[in-house]
Amino acid sequence: MKQHDPFIWVRETRLAIPGVTREHRFLHITDTHLCVWDEQSSKEEKTESIRREGLWQPVKEEFARISGEPFGDAQKISTVNAFDKLLSLAAAEQPDALLMTGDNLDYMHPAGERYLKKRLREYGGRVLCVPGNHEAAACPGLWESGVQTMDFDGFRLVGVDNRQKTVTKPDLRRLQALCEEKVPLIVLCHIPLATAACKEDLKKLDDYFYIDEDTADDGGRAFARLCKTHPAIKAVLCGHAHGYTATMLAPGKPQIIGSQGMAGAVHRLTVA
């Protein structure tokens, strides 16, 4: 496909799920870290958002350098302008759903919530958001606490909150119950999982950036091992690491770690 905007760069993956009768296309973005102020913002909110925006400018460039990813003048824009460009791509492509795997907002602030709700309402397509470690468990109108689901032809998307490097017992029980329904699942979460099959791939990351199936707390270990071992779970999509990595949780079970949306990264997933 013709490049939509020099800001945007795309990685593409394809996932085959038996029983799916047509192609489904998704755009997966993560770590947009929106820092927003508007006419309703207090002086303190505006000051804090400007401060955070400034802090991210050199940091996102450094993440891109470390990961060997594109970064030039086109990427040196505000988080708001970046998000607008990502939504323009989604509006042009009209995917079956836009998937957002956390750190959508850099911090919970009223102007950011207003902006995100407004822009996603204007976009009008299906959206599934999960929270990141910069966010709260729920943000009504954007994402909900607990396990979220979205059904498609022959498979289901499942959003799980693992932003604190663990998953709660109720959420684990709900995910386990969904697995037992024998509908193929694609799990969305924020923090990547490190299993025996992919630890070598994740060595480039500090352990802050993943949940280790061997060293996490009970909830984190149980989540990682369920995703790794249950045949109903076909793939995991996540973010947090600010660098794209395609790896395997187990043979034939991909984990796609999306890169930083605020620097133009998009993961295009086709399921068929």
Rounded (to 5) percent helix, strand, coil in the chain: 30, 25, 45
- Distance of alpha carbon 152 from alpha carbon 167, whole angstroms: 25
In a domain, 3, yes or no: no
> How many domains is the chain built from?
1
pLDDT values of the chain reduced to their tens digit, one per residue, 272 residues: 345 689 999 999 999 999 999 999 999 999 999 999 999 999 999 999 999 999 999 999 999 999 999 999 999 999 999 999 999 999 999 999 999 999 999 999 999 999 999 999 999 999 999 999 999 999 999 999 999 999 999 999 999 999 999 999 999 999 999 999 989 999 999 999 999 999 999 988 999 999 999 999 999 999 999 999 999 999 999 999 999 999 999 999 999 999 999 999 999 999 99
- Distance of alpha carbon 37 from alpha carbon 40, whole angstroms: 8
How do residues 69-100 score in pLDDT, each as one tens digit? 999 999 999 999 999 999 999 999 999 999 99
Beta strands in 69-221 (DSSP E): 97-101, 127-130, 148-152, 155-159, 185-188, 193-194, 211-212
Residue 200 CB contacts under 8 Å (≥ 6 apart), including other chains:
none
In a domain, 4, yes or no: no
Q: Provide the CATH number for the domain around residue 43.
A: 3.60.21.10
In a domain, 67, yes or no: yes
What pTM did the predictor assign? 0.96
Q: Which domain holds residue 131?
A: 9-271
In a domain, 109, yes or no: yes
Measured over the CA atoms of residue 246, residue 249, residue 252 and residue 256, the dihedral's sign is negative
